[in-house]
Structure 1
Amino acid sequence: MTTTSTKTTVDVRTIAPRDRHPLIFGTFSSLAQDEALLLINDHDPKPLYYQFQAEHGGEFSWEYLEEGPDVWRVRIGRVAACCS
């Protein structure tokens, strides 16, 4: 298992919903391999996970650190894409 260092925290609880995913993906794009961001959200970000799967499958890690009921914390890491 690759250990990722948390580079930044993205707390989207006060961000307008339409702006959340662009902010998260922009922050993810700025990460180097083996770095991670800490996402703090007010609900389970499972739809975001599926969007990551679709757009960055194999290039990210997803680890729940806290799972509600009021706050969700997820470490999202950038990992090396697997070769085929």
Structure 2
Amino acid sequence: MRRLALILSLLSLQACLSGCSVLAVADAAVTVVATTVSVGATVVGTAVDVTAAGVKAVAGTDDEEGDADEAPLVESGEAAPQP
């Protein structure tokens, strides 16, 4: 009778520990997927930046010339230009 109780308690302990290992594997899988998504988002963001730079280079736009939408810079002490 004692031997049967020992066997049953060992089997129940094994069942509990296997449940923990299933949770650990599932947690590791979720971590891998989250890391993959993060890296993918970074790659897409970099690709968008590179594409935008390429479009600016081909179109001939340059930030140094200033945009027509921006107000001209005024040094301190100078009068602001009137439209």
TM-score range, shorter chain: under 0.3
TM-score (norm 1): 0.21
Compare the two structures and name the one with the higher helix fraction.
Answer: 2
TM-score (norm 2): 0.21
Q: Which has the higher contact order (CA 8 A, sep 6+)?
A: 1
Q: Select the structure of larger CA radius of gyration.
A: 2
